[in-house]
Amino acid sequence: MPEPTDEELLLAIAAGPGALAEFYRRHVAKIVGFGVRRFADPEDVADFVADVFVEVLAGAHRFDPRRGSALGWLYGLAGNVAAAGLRRQARAGEAVRRLSGRAALDADDYDRVEAQIDAAAELRATYRALRGRSEADRRLLELVAVDGLGPAA
């Protein structure tokens, strides 16, 4: 029995994932090489290869053998995955450049943020407790408890 063509494998993958292993075995070295030419970090290459074959599984139903070969389709898909990965890396690099040089929070800053979070939680609890009061009582308690006013003000 002859081995299925790449085109037949893609059509089979579209029907169910069973043929993915054979398609992967046939083309993983090509996709690794494609990734190595585009990404410097081995982890990025590994992520790229995984992403390509996840997209093969997810997108095999879009393969149309009348429009070209399975290998051409695979390389087109790999190009799209690589471009998306490079854009993602560029955005991450830009974020790092924008944030570099900015002062990080020190211990006192963390203490202030925690105090603000605690105060906000207490305020929410106070407002929940005020729900059962009359409008006039609520306004009076807000002036005293929230705004810090006293009888002399």
Tell me which H or E stretch contains 122: helix 107-130
SS3 content of the chain, % helix, strand, coil (to 5): 80, 0, 20
Confidence of residue 152 (pLDDT cuts 50, 70, 90): low
Q: What is the pLDDT of residue 100?
A: 80
Q: Residue 153 and residue 148: Cα distance in Å, rounded?
A: 10
Residue type, 7: E
Q: Which residue has the higher pLDDT, 78 or 151?
A: 78
Q: Which residue has the higher pLDDT, 141 or 32?
A: 32
Q: What is the pLDDT of residues 119-132, one digit of tens each?
A: 777 767 766 777 78
Q: Which residue has the higher pLDDT, 141 or 35?
A: 35
Q: What is the pLDDT of residues 93-121, one digit of tens each?
A: 998 888 886 666 677 777 787 878 887 77
